[in-house]
Amino acid sequence: MAADLPGSPAPDLPARFAERARDYRATVHRTRLGELPELLAGLLATASGVVVPAGTPPQWTAALRPPRLPGDALTVADLDAPGLAVLTGCAVAVAETGTIVLDAGPAQGRRLLTLVPDRHVCVVDENQIVADLPDMVRALPDPTRPLTLISGPSATSDIELNRVEGVHGPRRLDIVCLQPDR
């Protein structure tokens, strides 16, 4: 790609990430830290409850109206409740594929939290976005942790290529890209 040649301007990784994530039918929002609590509150206003993993920054949940549920003690049956949503961060995000990468680190919780509830809202700091998969591997805080790579809401297609969403995970994925403060 021309943007990757020496002397060329660096690619706009957040824009590329958002474009690719939208290709996978994720909804992408961009905001700054000061606006984040209200944006998250608006996105999660209709949820019956919001699962919040350990290590989630308090500012993220400051304006939430639905009950906050700690992710550590919930069972599969609890997580499968109608209208439940999960709010997480991520370890890294990949611009080329529109993928968020979770490694069970702070604000991510255990893998089950992002696979069972019908809605997943993930906050991605734009500083966490890397260009491609080799960069992702280099950027991982701990490459020995198990990874969950998510590219859009859960979807599958049958032999006739009829797309069905939500069979193996959330039907709706909202990604909130947190822009650096100026």
pLDDT in tens, 124-140: 999 999 999 999 999 99
pLDDT in tens, 51-110: 999 999 999 999 999 889 888 889 999 999 999 999 999 999 999 999 999 999 999 999
Q: Is residue 161 part of a domain?
A: no
- Whether 28 shows a pLDDT value over 70: the answer reads yes
Q: Is residue 163 part of a domain?
A: no
Q: Is residue 4 part of a domain?
A: no
The rounded distance, in Å, linking the Cα atoms of 69 and 156 is: 29
- Whether 19 shows a pLDDT value over 80: the answer reads yes
**Residues 154 and 119 sit within 8 Å (Cβ to Cβ):** no
Q: What is the DSSP string of 32-49?
A: EGGGHHHHHHHHTTT-SE
| Closest by CA position to 102, among listed 71, 61, 80, 76 | 71
Range of the domain at 84: 10-154+169-179
Residue 10 per-residue DSSP state = P
The rounded distance, in Å, linking the Cα atoms of 163 and 25 is: 12
pLDDT category at 5 given cuts 50, 70, 90 is: very low
Q: Is residue 57 part of a domain?
A: yes
Q: What is the mean pLDDT of residues 8-32?
A: 89
Q: How large a percentage of the chain has pLDDT more than 90? A: 70
**Residues 89 and 123 sit within 8 Å (Cβ to Cβ):** yes
pLDDT category at 151 given cuts 50, 70, 90 is: confident
Cα 7–Cα 20–Cα 119 angle in degrees, nearest 5: 145
> How many distinct structural domains can be found in the chain?
1
